[in-house]
Amino acid sequence: MILIRSWAGNIWIYLWIALGVILSCIFGWFVPQSLVVAYWNRFILPTALWGLRVFGGISIEVRGRQYLNQEQAVYASKHESALETYTMTTIVTRGVMILKKELTYIPFFGWAQWLYGLIPVDRGAGARAMKKMLAAAQKRVAEKRPIIIFPEGHRMKPGTTQKYKPGFLFMAQNLKLPVIPVALNTGMFWPRSSTKHLPGKVIIEFMEPMVPGSDKNAFIEELQAKIEAKCAELNEETVKNYPYTAVNLAEK
Q: What is the pLDDT of residues 204-249, one digit of tens each?
A: 999 999 998 878 999 999 999 999 999 999 999 999 999 999 999 9
Range 183-200 average pLDDT: 91
- Candidates 197, 185, 162; CA nearest to 233 is 185
DSSP state of 243: G
Q: 3-class SS at 120? A: strand
Average pLDDT of the chain, as a whole number: 91
Q: What is the pLDDT of residues 76-99, one digit of tens each?
A: 999 999 999 999 999 999 999 988
What is residue 87's predicted lDDT score, i.e. its pLDDT?
96
Q: How far apart are CA 59 and CA 86, in angstroms?
A: 13
| Confidence at 252, pLDDT banded by 50, 70, 90 | low
Range 32-61 average pLDDT: 95
What is residue 125's predicted lDDT score, i.e. its pLDDT?
59
pLDDT above 70 for 25: yes
Q: How far apart are CA 126 and CA 106, in angstroms?
A: 23
- The end-to-end CA distance of the chain, in Å, is 30
Q: What is the pLDDT of residues 99-151, one digit of tens each?
A: 877 877 888 888 898 899 998 887 665 677 778 888 999 999 999 999 999 99
Q: Which residues pair with 63 in a beta bridge?
A: 205
Rounded to the nearest angstrom, the gap between the alpha carbon of residue 166 and the centroid of all alpha carbons in its chain is 17
Report pTM: 0.93
**Runs of H (alpha helix) within the chain:** 2-27, 33-39, 45-56, 83-91, 109-116, 127-142, 167-175, 216-241
Q: How far apart are CA 112 and CA 178, in angstroms?
A: 29
pLDDT above 80 for 5: yes
What is residue 1's predicted lDDT score, i.e. its pLDDT?
73
Strands (E), 127-248: 147-149, 179-184, 200-206
